Structure 1
Amino acid sequence: MPARLRPADPAALAEATARFAADAAAPADLKLLTKHYLALLETRAPGRSVEVRVPPYAAVQVVEGVRHTRGTPPAVVEMDPATWVALATGALAWAEAEESALLRASGERTNLAPYLPLG
């Protein structure tokens, strides 16, 4: 089983969050924020039935249900880092992201709106 992600150091998180809010986030900021919020999602929605992919930085399996172990998962959510951070912080609503095609979700239990925002 892959190691779980860990939340970011609070000071580094605050700095990266401020730069993201000011539209000045560097790739390192997006990486830190992506992994931090995916770690929080793992805590809020434990399970292994939905794979959330935020390339190129990380992917996690969350939400209770049938456990996925090999091959292509039956339920996948994928988006870019900026969309993930906006969803996780509440700057973007799940429905708006879906309507704007900012994310791709297929399979059961892929609506993550009940778990968001995380921050």
Structure 2
Amino acid sequence: MAAIREQDISKGMAALDQWRKATEAHRGEPLEARLTFSPSGMPRNTWAMAVRYSLYLLENKAPGPGVEVRVAPWGAVKILDGPASDPHNLTPPDVIELEPDVWLRLACGLTKWSEEKDAGRISAIIGERDDLSALLPLD
């Protein structure tokens, strides 16, 4: 299933741009502040569209069936080459779960994969391919 409907791509692009602009003033802050950044007052539907569009970008950047990236409650995509899902259990061997604010900080380049991982912000990692740093931030 696609992360975003085709008719919502322009809304998603605008939402991710809004999120990215919200991060600009925080780029020079200490790591602790950047790791907890979450724009206040941003509508829920803007967050959802930003997540869906950024997952769409990730999926286009690194297509494949090998790793599932989940950003609940708004989306999941399969990326990178590798073994596909077991036909009896539709989950691929590698799964990464992130909270929406963590994912968007990474996607926008406010934080790095290693910083979020070391801080325990990446909530679930199953499998051997647990580092998306080569794919982030998204452009």
Q: What's 2:136 paired with?
A: 116
Q: What's 2:17 paired with?
A: 14
In structure 1, stretches of 5+ residues that fail to align are none
Which of 14, 33, 42 is matched with 2:59 structurally?
42
Q: What's 2:2 paired with?
A: 3
Aligned length in residues: 118
Query: Is the aligned partner of 1:107 residue 2:108?
Result: no
Q: What percentage of residue pairs aligned between the two structures are identical?
A: 34
Query: Is the aligned partner of 1:29 residue 2:46?
Result: yes
In structure 2, stretches of 5+ residues that fail to align are 26-38
Change (3 A) 1:87 1:79: same
For 1:76 and 1:109, the matched residues in 2 are separated by 8
Q: What's 1:66 paired with?
A: 83
Change (3 A) 1:108 1:97: same
Moved more, 64-73 or 87-96: 64-73
Point out the structure with max Rg over C-alpha: 2
Q: What's 1:98 paired with?
A: 117
Moved more, 66-75 or 94-103: 66-75
| Residue pair 2:23, 2:110 contacting (<8 A) in 1 also | no
Q: CA deviation at 1:31?
A: 0.5
Change (3 A) 1:74 1:68: same
Moved more, 96-105 or 63-72: 63-72
2:116 match: secondary structure: helix
2:73 match: secondary structure: coil
Q: CA deviation at 1:27?
A: 1.4
| Residue pair 1:20, 1:29 contacting (<8 A) in 2 also | no
After TM superposition, the score normalised by the length of structure 1 is: 0.84
